[in-house]
Chain A
Amino acid sequence: MTVNTDMSVRVAAITQVADKVKRFRLVREDGQPMPVFSGGSHIVVGMREGAVLRRNPYSLMSAPGDTSGFEISVLRVEKSRGGSAFLHEKVKPGDRLTVSQPLNLFPVDQRGRKHLLMAGGIGITPFMAMMDQLDRNNRAFELHYAVRTRGHGAYWRELQGRYGEQRVKVYCDEENLFIPTQAILANQPLGTHLYVCGPAGMINGVLGQARGLGWPAQNLHAEEFLAPPLGKPFKAVLAKSGKTIEVAAHQSILEAAEAAGIDAPYLCRGGACGQCETNVTACTGTIEHNDHFLEPQDKASGRKIMICVSRIDGSQITLDL
């Protein structure tokens, strides 16, 4: 038995907050309060455009205790698979969407004596909610926020206004200012936890430096939302459902299965939570593992795939789905 706890929402407001970044405020259609959540949580937003149903994950940026509505910020991606373009160009105030319950794969470690946050670009969004929570709980934190240009950076002025320039530091590529990660990481009190959200290169760079400086693995936290990478089309044979589906170049296996009417399990749709792990029984081609979940030996075995972000370079894959 599955229980559907998705909520119908109305777009209450859309605000252009920076170049290519829009903020959407979503309120429940049934007038009930939104659930409280914890900083770092995301929701999956369901959007229907004609026959196409898109489901994309976005970090919640509104105050975790604000039950009047949820807010997300969406970056217009150049090579959009459809979701960000749809939200930016088609969705208008008053339109209806669905949202899932909040899920947190990037939580604050409640034991931290101090919380060091590093954001790159749109990676700022989970920290907006996290800082509200840390501030309310009187926890020590500081944010280091890298933006391409002041115009590209969303929210930095507002954040400096609220938390002060000592706690919110902004670094702008265009001005040749970069986060001095080495110096920052080398000078933190014991018990500090580090959180990084941004592009893969930034996450790997910062975490690599932290490990090099002897930070314990348990004190390092990162979140990178993967959009399912584009690739070549292929066939997927779904053994349990008795269906063969075409996975298009811009689609994930999960999306193609859903379009064929199959109710496949998922939670994060970003290759992190493990919910959509699926057994592979045959594959003509090479699996392109794009997730953060499977262990290297599982990836090497060719027997498992995370269907929300991974695909194949080849002609056909047979799945236990």
Chain B
Amino acid sequence: MSLTFKKETFRDDFSFRNSPASIRRFPFPFNEDKYMYAVNMEPHVPAGPPNHSYNKLIDVDEHFVAEMEDRAKVLKEDPLRYQALPHMMTAQWDTLELLMEQQAQGFPEHFSLDRDGDRWHWINRPMGIDRHFVFGDATTLPCEPFEFITRQAQGDFCIVDQRDGNLWMDAGMVTTQADWSLDFDVGMNFMEWHGPVPLAHQLGVFERALKFLLNLQQSKPVRRLNWTMTINPRLDTSPENYHKWGPDRATVTPENVGDKVHLRCELQSLWRLPRSNAILFVIRCYLIKMEELVTISKWARRFHRVLRDLPPELIDYKGLTRYRPVTVEWLSKFDDGAPTSPGIFPD
């Protein structure tokens, strides 16, 4: 399938929209009419109806070029959104290999990778990049290998090092985050960077998740979905830029809910990296407007019920307090009380 890449923005005039096909491939995060934290990890294998975002293990969609342009702008304003500690160089090459392989296999019309031993040739047609380099020799690339490839791949990327029975956030490219900061978390371990999350600690979720991840195997990536909400289709909702997006939350009115309020879904996948034994953590962000979401009636009904019945701690932690009532009221018009089918995919 050949993609047509859109010209659009995630800031200023916010021209981001999903095409009807893009709406149907959205990774809707709720498999039932309520939500609570769980270690909801499953094998990351191709799944879903044709063209769904689950079809390829590293997904590329119509927003690719625009998202990469937005990332370049974020990095120009704040270079610390990319960081890699010195001992992570082997893991950087592991990541470059994984992303190039997956993008070239999944979307051969747009990307290609040719290898002759350590001499590699990478072509990224949508961005007009054609590069010969030597795998393992960072001097043959314009920047570090992890930065090079993550300027050409949708989603945020963290590489966590595994040692002392824990995982350490020792490298990252983070420009599309839901209010967390790589610069603050870099060097922290798994328990430390999850410190602020409410309720889940008492449920023992993080102990179980850590134990699971320490034994993550090569060739067996896993995925989970996480979600929050964002006002305006803004990818960069970072703590560093809170002054830019925080006030947006006070601008929601009954008239503009459909256009301004977005469900923000993170398709997270975790991959054991072969040479470094580190883990690549991909946090791929998808946005959908309320008026786009309600075109799928199952999702309209279900999201209304989830948002209406959300535990207060989660409303607060996810920052939904101000605009949740007006959004629930707006969504209620699309919920006739009919039962919803199991699973996340559209009917």
Q: Identify the A interface with B (CB < 8 A).
A: 1-3, 5, 35-38, 40-41, 64-65, 101-104, 107, 109-111, 133, 137, 218, 267, 273-275
Is A101 touching B215 in the complex (CB atoms < 8 A)?
no
Q: How near does chain B come to A266, taking the closest CB pair, in angstroms?
A: 10
Residue B161 interfacial (CB < 8 Å): yes
Q: Identify the B interface with A (CB < 8 A).
A: 42-43, 45, 87-88, 90-91, 161-164, 211, 214-215, 217-220, 274-277
Q: Within 8 Å CB of A218, what residues of B?
A: 163-164
Contact of B277 among A3, A104, A267 (CB under 8 A): A104
Rounded to whole angstroms, the CA-CA distance of A107 and B87 in the bound complex is 14
Q: Within 8 Å CB of B90, what residues of A?
A: 110, 137
Find the B residue at minimum CB distance from A37.
B274
Is A35 touching B219 in the complex (CB atoms < 8 A)?
yes
Q: Within 8 Å CB of B163, what residues of A?
A: 107, 109, 111, 218
Contact of A110 among B161, B164, B219 (CB under 8 A): B161
Contact of B45 among A3, A37, A41, A274 (CB under 8 A): A3
Q: How near does chain B come to A179, taking the closest CB pair, in angstroms?
A: 25
Is B87 touching A111 in the complex (CB atoms < 8 A)?
yes
Rounded to whole angstroms, the CA-CA distance of A133 and B94 in the bound complex is 14
Q: Within 8 Å CB of A107, what residues of B?
A: 162-163, 277
Is B276 touching A101 in the complex (CB atoms < 8 A)?
no
Is A101 touching B43 in the complex (CB atoms < 8 A)?
no
User: Can you offer 12 A-B residue contacts whose CB atoms are under 8 A?
Assistant: A1-B42, A3-B220, A5-B217, A5-B218, A5-B219, A5-B220, A38-B276, A41-B277, A110-B88, A110-B91, A218-B163, A267-B217
What is the number of contacts between chain A and chain B, taking CB atoms within 8 Å? 59
Q: How near does chain B come to A46, taking the closest CB pair, in angstroms?
A: 16
Is B211 touching A274 in the complex (CB atoms < 8 A)?
yes
Q: Which 8 A-B pairs have the closest CB atoms?
A: A110-B87, A38-B277, A36-B274, A107-B277, A111-B87, A5-B219, A101-B218, A104-B277
Rounded to whole angstroms, the CA-CA distance of A104 and B218 in the bound complex is 10
Report if A101-B211 is in contact (Cβ < 8 Å); known contacts: A38-B277, A110-B90. Answer: no
Is B220 touching A273 in the complex (CB atoms < 8 A)?
no
| 16 more A-B residue pairs beyond the given contacts A35-B219, A111-B87, with a C-beta to C-beta distance below 8 A | A1-B42, A5-B219, A5-B220, A35-B218, A36-B274, A38-B275, A41-B277, A65-B275, A102-B218, A104-B277, A107-B163, A109-B163, A110-B161, A110-B276, A111-B163, A274-B211
Report if A103-B88 is in contact (Cβ < 8 Å); known contacts: A36-B275, A38-B275, A110-B161. Answer: no
Mostly, the A contact residues are: loop
Q: How near does chain B come to A218, taking the closest CB pair, in angstroms?
A: 5
Rounded to whole angstroms, the CA-CA distance of A273 and B219 in the bound complex is 18
Q: Within 8 Å CB of B215, what residues of A?
A: 103, 267, 273-275
Q: Within 8 Å CB of B91, what residues of A?
A: 110
Report if A101-B217 is in contact (Cβ < 8 Å); known contacts: A36-B275, A107-B163. Answer: yes
Rounded to whole angstroms, the CA-CA distance of A133 and B43 in the bound complex is 30
Q: Within 8 Å CB of B88, what residues of A?
A: 110
Contact of A64 among B42, B164, B211, B275 (CB under 8 A): B275
Find the B residue at minimum CB distance from A107.
B277
Rounded to whole angstroms, the CA-CA distance of A11 and B30 in the bound complex is 48
Find the B residue at minimum CB distance from A102.
B218
Q: How near does chain B come to A219, taking the closest CB pair, in angstroms?
A: 10
Rounded to whole angstroms, the CA-CA distance of A65 and B276 in the bound complex is 12
Rounded to whole angstroms, the CA-CA distance of A65 and B118 in the bound complex is 11
Is B274 touching A38 in the complex (CB atoms < 8 A)?
yes
Is B218 touching A37 in the complex (CB atoms < 8 A)?
yes
Contact of B43 among A1, A65, A109 (CB under 8 A): A1
Rounded to whole angstroms, the CA-CA distance of A42 and B275 in the bound complex is 13
Rounded to whole angstroms, the CA-CA distance of A38 and B45 in the bound complex is 24
Q: How near does chain B come to A50, taking the closest CB pair, in angstroms?
A: 29
Rounded to whole angstroms, the CA-CA distance of A104 and B277 in the bound complex is 7
Q: Within 8 Å CB of B217, what residues of A?
A: 5, 101, 103, 267
Q: Within 8 Å CB of A37, what residues of B?
A: 218, 274-275
Rounded to whole angstroms, the CA-CA distance of A36 and B118 in the bound complex is 14
Rounded to whole angstroms, the CA-CA distance of A5 and B164 in the bound complex is 27
Q: Pick the most buried of A1, A103, A218, A267: most chain B CB atoms within 10 A of its CB.
A: A103
Q: Within 8 Å CB of B277, what residues of A?
A: 38, 40-41, 104, 107
Q: Within 8 Å CB of A41, what residues of B?
A: 277
Q: Within 8 Å CB of B164, what residues of A?
A: 218
Find the B residue at minimum CB distance from A268.
B215
Q: Within 8 Å CB of A35, what residues of B?
A: 218-219, 274
Q: Within 8 Å CB of A1, what residues of B?
A: 42-43
Find the B residue at minimum CB distance from A106.
B277
Find the B residue at minimum CB distance from A133.
B275
Rounded to whole angstroms, the CA-CA distance of A111 and B163 in the bound complex is 10
Is A101 touching B275 in the complex (CB atoms < 8 A)?
no
Rounded to whole angstroms, the CA-CA distance of A109 and B42 in the bound complex is 29
Q: Within 8 Å CB of B211, what residues of A?
A: 274
Q: Within 8 Å CB of A5, what residues of B?
A: 217-220
Q: Within 8 Å CB of A103, what residues of B?
A: 215, 217-218
Q: Within 8 Å CB of B220, what residues of A?
A: 3, 5, 101
Q: How near does chain A come to B344, taking the closest CB pair, in angstroms?
A: 15
Rounded to whole angstroms, the CA-CA distance of A311 and B45 in the bound complex is 36
Q: How near does chain A come to B15, taking the closest CB pair, in angstroms?
A: 40
Q: Within 8 Å CB of B274, what residues of A?
A: 35-38, 102
Is A101 touching B87 in the complex (CB atoms < 8 A)?
no
Contact of B219 among A2, A101, A274 (CB under 8 A): A101
Rounded to whole angstroms, the CA-CA distance of A17 and B220 in the bound complex is 34
Rounded to whole angstroms, the CA-CA distance of A170 and B277 in the bound complex is 29
Q: Within 8 Å CB of B219, what residues of A?
A: 5, 35, 101
Find the B residue at minimum CB distance from A221.
B163
